[in-house]
Structure 1
């Protein structure tokens, strides 16, 4: 049965069971976290505000408690920005534990990483395939991102828009997805070591464990 033909009671049940119910814009829902992965140590407060239109998923990442705003200014789109400070969203349309999903990252200097991840073990297990299919022209494809650094208030904010056509998901109301959100924290005195922070704890120093993705309903 297609989601568009589900009875209202079934859609209500799926939404009520979700970790996050995302409304149509301009209303938003917020995923908030302040714990490290996997030890649950204190981590700087991070929020992700989400909403959708008929054609886009909009995300506003806010990194509080920032002291370093640490990035490599030489890096460009789809570079290894994950080695420095970034905020991230892992996104999958569906309700199972995905083997392929979209990874979106943004750094304090407004550089993005955009790739479909092939992770058939679902845990990035040693000795198993793990690969990336990059979106090579995200801005030409309709992605949008604007990042502002608020150094006096120790925070940075990235406002992003991701085309829903990437997931064959125009007009997503009534659909259910799996997602997780992360932040990496480092600086000139600690690099390359990072503190890993997340919305749903993966119980390992590894973001790519899909059974721990949260559940998200578009309502």
Structure 2
């Protein structure tokens, strides 16, 4: 069914706004929480994943909780900023803007607490063009702690991301607006390198592509 051009133009902004989720994030110790159980890009069933977010005077605090994990599959030889996204990982993309960003932080963590952190330059807003690694995350105050409960099929990662990475001074986060998305990658040793993906704000198209900045959710620090 085709609509007259004037109707399409009028409808598109409302449809785009409705498609992207939003979250109000409180100051710690309170938390704003999201969860998702749909795969991307097909929106089929996916293991439950929860993300809790809060902020304090100096940092964003994110806790990723992965339920129903069966493999915990990682590359034991990988260290900081190696491509842990080829195995099992949870991720967030973060930008201090209300627009669809061209630059954002990509943070990833694996069940063995190995992390990837880099700023991505993505002028197409579809596929990252350049990667600028944060090579000393702990020295920069970007820290992570992961606990694994294999019998329960559970792993939890608590992450601290400094506000200074986004040019937000200490104590100035309240009232600011951001764009974020949260992802989970499940990889099995039996099917590697094939992967299973889930997202809070689903990204369209196949194969799955997380670097579509129009799909980043809207976040407000309240």
User: How does the TM-score come out when normalised to structure 2?
Assistant: 0.88
Would you say the 8 A contact 1:18–1:217 is kept in 2? no
Q: 2:95 touches 2:105 (CA, 8 Å); kept in 1?
A: yes
Aligned residue in 1 for 2:151 = 152
Residue of structure 1 aligned with 2:114, choices 108, 111, 115: 111
2:35 alignment counterpart: 32
SS where residue 36 of structure 1 aligns?
A: strand
Structure-2 residue corresponding to 1:208: 211
**Alignment correspondent of 1:196:** 197
The runs of 5 or more residues in structure 1 that have no matched partner are 1-16
Please list every run of at least 4 consecutive aligned residues from structure 1 whose deviation after the TM superposition is greater than 3 angstroms.
Answer: none
Partner of 2:93: 90
CA RMSD of aligned residues (A): 1.2
CA–CA separation in structure 1 for the residues paired with 2:26 and 2:168: 15
Within the alignment, does 1:43 sit opposite 2:42 as a pair?
no
CA distance in 1, matches of 2:173, 2:46: 32
Separation in 2, partners of 1:151, 1:139: 27
Partner of 2:102: 99
> Could you list the runs of 5+ residues in structure 2 that have no partner in the other structure?
1-19
> Given the alignment, which residue of 75, 79, 84 partners 1:81?
84
Alignment CA distance shift 1:196-1:169 (3 Å): same
More displaced 10-residue stretch of structure 1: 166-175 or 74-83 = 166-175
TM superposition shift of 1:18: 7.0
